[in-house]
Amino acid sequence: MKKMDGKLVAQTLKDHVKKDVQSLKKQGIHPSLCVVLAGDDPASKVYVKRKMMACDEVGIHSKLLKFPKDVPQEELIQTLESLNQDPLVHGILVQLPLPGHLDQKTVLSYLSPKKDVDVLTTKNVGALWSSSANIQPCTPKGIITMLEHYKIPLEGRHVVVLGRSLIVGRPMVQLLLEKNATVTICHSKTTNLKEHTKRAEVVVVACGKHHLLKAQDFKKGAVVIDVGMHRISKEGKTVLEGDVCPEGLENVLSYFSPVPGGVGPMTISSLLHNTVQLARH
């Protein structure tokens, strides 16, 4: 089994983005991203910090707007409206999940589709599904880039996507269809889930359940992409683990994208790429 190295592939992408940023700056365009973070979810804080550090690395200007966990919905909406109007902001990222009292759909409906770096607005989701979007959602795009880097064929192959979230599962299906894969989407209510995963040549696991799938749930030679992110306390330390238990995978899979070091860095590189695309438009 070959372990996919998301960090390495992401670095190559970052190098490209850095060059693009330099050339845009010569034309007087300074790509910029604004991150809106509401609440104090520890995982979100870590992800946001990583995203901002990556922006710094490639020369994208980034700004963080932090709000307390009881921020009124109206205040977030007003913030988005003013960022939509700000010509110096090219991309806006509303870090999810939002605190429980906020309605995600309503808040996102105030985000300008022109600055929607995650492809979450209704207009952009429609464009994505009609294959006419300018940018693609960060995590699915990062996964496709990684599969392409390792020359894993998708055309005609059976791919199972486990998870139907707006940010990963659903757009993943569309990007795989664009690559002519045969896609099955499974979720928490799927009966005999493992019958599906055992038949697949490629499995993208984004169900948010710690170590739900194990070596015996995959077909020999399968390619597995783990998108899970679980902060687990072990012997007084916090470690990051995925939706797939890594034990015994070496003898079953052909390729595995692990957690950490797989999809995470690819998502961040895609975010940088998307910010530059929005600045260009």
In contact, 161 and 204? CB cutoff 8 Å: yes
Angstrom distance (rounded) from CA 189 to CA 196: 13
Site string for ligand GUN, 89-118 (x = CB under 6 A): ----xxxx---------------------x
Residue 139 binds to ligand GUN (criterion: CB under 6 A): yes
Cβ nearer to ligand GUN, comparing 92 with 203: 92
Active site residues: 51, 95, 118
Its sign, for the CA torsion 23, 95, 243, 220, is negative
Selection from 48, 143, 157 nearest residue 97 by Cα = 48
Question: Contact 18/275 with Cβ under 8 angstroms?
Answer: no
Of 64, 5, 26, which is closest to residue 264 (Cα–Cα)? 5
Reading the block at residue 269, the tokens are: 């590189």
The span from the CA of 111 to the CA of 92, in Å, is 8
Q: Kindly write out the interface string for residues 23-62 of this chain, putting x where it contacts ligand GUN by CB under 6 A and - elsewhere.
A: ------------------------x---------------
Pattern 243-272, binding to ligand GUN, x per CB under 6 A?
------------------------x-----
Q: Which is nearer to ligand GUN, 44 or 254 (CB)?
A: 44
Q: Return the number of the residue (116 or 201) whose C-beta is nearest ligand GUN.
A: 116
Considering beta carbons, is residue 107 or 249 the nearer one to ligand GUN? 107
Q: List binders of ligand GUN among 119-138 (CB under 6 A).
A: 138
Cα gap 101→259, rounded to integer Å:
31
Cβ 50 to ligand GUN shortest distance, Å = 11
Per-residue binding string, ligand GUN, 147-176, x by CB under 6 A, is --------------------x---------
Alpha helices (H) along 187-257 = 193-199
Structure tokens at 52: 């901002």
**H or E segment to which residue 170 belongs:** helix 169-178
Residue nearest to ligand GUN (CB): 96
Residues in touch with ligand GUN (CB under 6 A): 47, 93-96, 118, 138-139, 167, 267
